[in-house]
Structure 1
């Protein structure tokens, strides 16, 4: 017995669902999941069924025979026009013959012989076969006076009688010319997240809109519309730290030293070329000088471009496993959560997730390992140098994500706590709006909220200790957040350490030499 999924497109009449269930039962299929919501789409039903492979093929054959099985998601055109009919018996009947022969579905009719235009009929059509449109129009033009009002193939003008087909057309604009089988599986996943959130009293239409907003934001802010807010901080005379805040997702950090460049986190894959262009603008575009990438955790906005850079990526073994799994909650107490699994598929697809391939793993530790050196509750699993700065790789306790790593330079007071600490007040309204989408679709961006609170408390204690040690030098711990500005703690709040400058796509490169330090 195996689990299969399919989409049924049924007529809106009593007994249609019963007929489909009878076919599944006849071949001893067990329905594991079914989702139908007339408010969304009155014709579409999502099924997950456990059955023997041969029986499943019989189920598909039977459903296809009666026209219930959806096998493709071909783009549908919307056509709206005025047509002037003769005022005689049978005039509408004759017109409908043409429309039926073109296999078009009527979505709108408006006619009143006592109105301002007693001879004019307004017609709206959905046409699945675009080859039939010209033939239909030519037939009608040869007999009737005709005025085209709207003609749309993008899905924008389709109504909710074909909601999922309309959704599929919008999704194609984010993921390209995907095969129908792939797109239908993706629709299954999206429907599943809507089903879960509906059970939590979320409006399903709002769920779909927020999913589309994720794809729209990423596509709309890449290429010519890419921008970033940039902080540049001199750490030592010959070491400068850049913080790049892309339009969506996590920060990218880059150390520029005389001998090499080192990156911490990479941003989304969809921004890769935009980031390369930005690095060129700042005189950092020679990727042969980028020697190492340190990954904090497996979310797409932090490591989703790592596989596109030539440098090796250093990461935790647990993080490596998550990049190969279908859920960002893998390894956590929440790993079976449908919302986490489906969101991971959505964001990885929309953001062109390209995880690291050239990998160097940090040493694994276990609770049985003796004499584990720690910073507070965080085990120190590795040490490395960037220029003459010595860093520690601290393993988190898994609040935001299993396998997360924090990077700390105790001497200079540099802490990279990734998404365990975010300066929300420094986020632009657009970034805040985008970040809220993930929180909405998963109900929380933390895989374990209790651990996340404990983690933040421990990090605040660590920051306080560092601030005390640096006080004599007139310095404070620089908190390089996963999102938002590099910050310091003041009166218990994160405050931006410096201002930032705005980079926009198309700016001409500048040169950076040691004289700039």
Structure 2
């Protein structure tokens, strides 16, 4: 039986010298491998090359074995330490060569050397270097101290001060701090995927270093704003029939909406999984959705900031079958015209890792459309909460396949998810965080033209409700997936009522500006 060709990925770490890349390519050629993708940038990391090859599995194993035999195959991510020191060398021929022989024997990579016998310190050599594993650093220091006067200027084991010759190793160390404990094979695979979107965005004219910075800033923002630094902006609105609508704007990502009566509560969207402990503490502070009253969780769409904590709640979730498909495929572009986009699939992997993605497991799918319409949107379902009827409207797939809206004509409530947002109500920090995703996938909408059509149609519904409610002096509340609950004022969204600022168990009330 002839072995079938498959696609494989691996990372090569090779000498920064002429012929190194050709030597690796020759090994791949020798075993009939076809290189589908290769990415190398000396300005990022002069020793790291990313490969995707097509080969039979036996031939791929042979390629790996040969690359490993010559030290090219990267199978682990060593802990690398940075060391900077002054050393007093004797003034005689060969002194520097003797010193460098010791650093070479220790496996040190010299990043910087500074010496001038006519300068201010004619006896001092300043050296910066990096070494794998802390025991190698200790061994080198002990050897040097036994022979030369030594002054340690900097010793870093976090990777923050390493130079770009080990960029990907440093980047992997930063990723490890953001996603928790991870084995080297997993991190190497993640690096391969991240490198692919770096290559794609670089080919579109973006700065590769900005891509790496945007990825780490995304994870660092979520980590920083959870726990002690968690906060939210909160609106509490009496919507009649004994029901209160509460909007929680989380630090990063989407809003959580809670509808509550004296007897029951309903949640729309859940926020990121990483925020779940903070959200529960916040709920307790406000005395809402304590778990005993929560009857249902409605998921508007599959992005991690809207469903990523769903698995923590005991109440059953309700979602679109398109949302189910995206959760299962782990690709936010599933079911859309850009389903094959590497940017979308890798971003989904990254944000799910950073945000502790825990989607609902106990859920009910909304029915298929039966021909009933609300404007341009199919009506999928109706349900009653607090004696009021809510319609579930199916989006046309502008922001994401499987997205739904909730509409309660009687109460004048329209939950528009990420299709209609009052961007003017976002803080600078929230705008900055949102811009990171927009940069990494080029647009958070999988079909921007359709998203614009949907936005106009939803605003028309809101305007119609305003006209219908005018005799009672009530307004249509537009509840976006991000930002403040708003009303239409002269065709523009304006935040409604007062917003309280919550920080770790305390709130600071005040009118909105």
Same fold (TM > 0.5): yes
SS at match of 2:416: strand
2:262 corresponds to 1:263 = no
Alignment-derived partner of residue 386 in structure 1:
385
2:322 corresponds to 1:348 = no
Alignment-derived partner of residue 291 in structure 1:
295
Alignment-derived partner of residue 226 in structure 1:
230
Alignment-derived partner of residue 511 in structure 2:
none
Q: CA deviation at 1:508?
A: 9.1
- Give a deviation string over 1:381-431, Cα, whole Å, max 9, x none: 111122112100000100000010000001111000100001000000000
Alignment-derived partner of residue 400 in structure 2:
401
Alignment-derived partner of residue 336 in structure 1:
340
Alignment-derived partner of residue 50 in structure 1:
54
Measured at CA, do residues 143 and 153 of structure 1 come closer, stay the same or move farther in structure 2, by a change above 3 Å? same
SS at match of 2:43: coil
Measured at CA, do residues 281 and 402 of structure 1 come closer, stay the same or move farther in structure 2, by a change above 3 Å? same
SS at match of 1:34: strand
2:470 corresponds to 1:444 = no
Alignment-derived partner of residue 474 in structure 2:
475
CA distance in 1, matches of 2:84, 2:119: 19
- Which structure 1 residue ranges, 4+ long, deviate > 2 Å from structure 2? 506-509
Alignment-derived partner of residue 465 in structure 1:
464
Alignment-derived partner of residue 24 in structure 1:
28
CA distance in 2, matches of 1:230, 1:132: 53
Alignment-derived partner of residue 430 in structure 1:
429
Give the length in aligned residue pairs.
Answer: 504
Alignment-derived partner of residue 489 in structure 1:
488
In angstroms, what is the RMSD of aligned CA positions? 1.2
CA distance in 1, matches of 2:465, 2:240: 18
Alignment-derived partner of residue 165 in structure 1:
169
CA distance in 1, matches of 2:358, 2:499: 28
2:162 corresponds to 1:125 = no
SS at match of 1:356: coil
SS at match of 2:46: coil
CA distance in 1, matches of 2:244, 2:475: 17
Alignment-derived partner of residue 420 in structure 1:
419
- Give a deviation string over 1:450-480, Cα, whole Å, max 9, x none: 1111111111111111111111111111000
Alignment-derived partner of residue 514 in structure 1:
none
Out of 277-286 and 437-446, give the one that drifted further. Answer: 277-286
CA distance in 2, matches of 1:237, 1:86: 89
2:192 corresponds to 1:188 = yes
CA distance in 1, matches of 2:385, 2:110: 66
CA distance in 2, matches of 1:196, 1:435: 20
CA distance in 2, matches of 1:84, 1:394: 76
SS at match of 1:89: coil
- Residue pair 1:379, 1:394 contacting (<8 A) in 2 also: yes
Out of 144-153 and 418-427, give the one that drifted further. Answer: 144-153
CA distance in 2, matches of 1:250, 1:292: 18
Alignment-derived partner of residue 500 in structure 2:
501
CA distance in 2, matches of 1:161, 1:507: 47
Q: With structure 2 as the length reference, what TM-score do the two structures score? A: 0.97
2:283 corresponds to 1:279 = yes
Q: CA deviation at 1:110?
A: 0.6
Q: CA deviation at 1:291?
A: 1.6
2:314 corresponds to 1:315 = no
Q: With structure 1 as the length reference, what TM-score do the two structures score? A: 0.96
CA distance in 2, matches of 1:74, 1:326: 29
Measured at CA, do residues 384 and 285 of structure 1 come closer, stay the same or move farther in structure 2, by a change above 3 Å? closer
Alignment-derived partner of residue 63 in structure 1:
67
SS at match of 1:235: strand
Q: CA deviation at 1:14?
A: 1.4
